[in-house]
Amino acid sequence: MSGPPIGSARASGAAGPDAPAASRQRRAIAFALLLAGAAVLIASAFLLSPFRLFQLTLAAGYAVAILGLNLVTGYNGQISLGHGAFYAAGAYTTAILMTHFDWPFWATLPVAGLASGALGYAVGFPALRLGGFYLALTTFSLAVAVPQILKHRAIEDWTGGVQGLFIAKPDPPAFLPIEADQWLYLTTLAISAALFLAAWNLVRGRIGRAMRAIRDHPVAAEAMGMDLAAVKTRTFAAGAALTGLAGALGAVAVEFVAPDSFTVMLSITLFVGMVVGGAASIGGAVVGGLFIVFVPNLAESISKAAPGAIYGVLLILLLFVLPGGAAGIGRLAVARLWRRDGGR
């Protein structure tokens, strides 16, 4: 559907089916919003406390992770309860390259993306034969098995075993008089923005339409000549790569990777983030990322069990009250706004 989701500074102006004048006006407004949003985000690097910056950095990373999940589950209908595995793959790739081979952080990013993308592609093949519950079940099992695999003795020398690996945030370039966490925040934002733009382009193009066609009418799509296997495996690869890159970003923000950071709860958290933000929504991933960073933080002050309870209740409530998640509200609001404007 046309119209930029509200609250997303990342989407650039979208074309609508209306009269060119109204469409140009909308594009201008969206662009202005985008610029304003970018300015605010950049300015906050210098206005917020290091802890808040850290949280926002994490949120941006998680937003990308949820975006990756959204590609696979939201846009392509393959239910993945194991995206934490790809997050872990990216995180560990970065950590291992930085720790054992002294690579600079930026150089590890493409490798992390490739590694998790390859893992996603590998998962995508058996996923072709499964669907619905079976795929959910299998990916869930993958998520549960991940910490055990990471702790295994055979790869302990690389992964650091139970204790994990420590890595350091990259230093800002010498000519910039800013702190390391500000630098990381800004670069994470930039990278996330680029990834969001890429995903947004992918989704609104031919491939995106193919993804959705396969999700909604697989038999018809195949009858029309679409190569289901290719689209589905490549979507898995792309989604996994995105989430893997997010894992790399997250790893360097936390400066630490360990097997118990990547339990099944991570996969479930990403899933909840996707549902809250809205499946099949680019902007929703941003809301999801913010949600899973800030809400548990607030909730944990009540009780250790609170985050899980909130997630659970929200999942069920959303089903009945607001299946489209935040993006659903966003689209409704935008639609109303433009209608009043006479834009339709």
Point out which residues bind other proteins (CB under 8 A): 73, 77, 79, 81, 126, 129-134, 136-138, 140-142, 144-145, 148-149, 151-153, 218-219, 222, 228, 264, 268, 271-272, 275, 279, 303-309, 311-316, 318-320, 323
Residue-by-residue DSSP string for 160-178: -TTT-EE--PPPPPTTS--
Sign of the four-CA dihedral 87, 88, 94, 97: negative
DSSP 100: H
| Closer CB to other proteins, 16 or 161, in the complex | 161
Can you tell me the distance from the alpha carbon of 294 to that of 308, in angstroms, rounded to the nearest whole number?
14
* Type and span of the H or E element at 255: none
Shortest Cβ 332–other proteins spacing (Å) = 19
| Closer CB to other proteins, 10 or 151, in the complex | 151
Shortest Cβ 278–other proteins spacing (Å) = 12
Which residue in 20, 13, 26 sits closest to 337, CA to CA?
A: 26
| Closer CB to other proteins, 272 or 292, in the complex | 272
Shortest Cβ 322–other proteins spacing (Å) = 12
Shortest Cβ 315–other proteins spacing (Å) = 3
Shortest Cβ 53–other proteins spacing (Å) = 29
Can you tell me the distance from the alpha carbon of 25 to that of 31, in angstroms, rounded to the nearest whole number?
10
| Closer CB to other proteins, 50 or 312, in the complex | 312
Can you tell me the distance from the alpha carbon of 68 to that of 146, in angstroms, rounded to the nearest whole number?
18
| Closer CB to other proteins, 47 or 219, in the complex | 219
| Closer CB to other proteins, 298 or 305, in the complex | 305
Can you tell me the distance from the alpha carbon of 81 to that of 79, in angstroms, rounded to the nearest whole number?
7
Shortest Cβ 128–other proteins spacing (Å) = 10
In contact, 230 and 70? CB cutoff 8 Å = no
Can you tell me the distance from the alpha carbon of 104 to that of 90, in angstroms, rounded to the nearest whole number?
15
| Closer CB to other proteins, 65 or 213, in the complex | 213
In contact, 289 and 307? CB cutoff 8 Å = no
End-to-end CA distance of the chain: 13
In contact, 261 and 82? CB cutoff 8 Å = no
* Type and span of the H or E element at 112: helix 105-129
Shortest Cβ 308–other proteins spacing (Å) = 4
Residue 117's SS3 state is helix
Which residue in 125, 127, 143, 129 sits closest to 81, CA to CA?
A: 143
In contact, 273 and 288? CB cutoff 8 Å = yes
Shortest Cβ 86–other proteins spacing (Å) = 15
| Closer CB to other proteins, 176 or 316, in the complex | 316
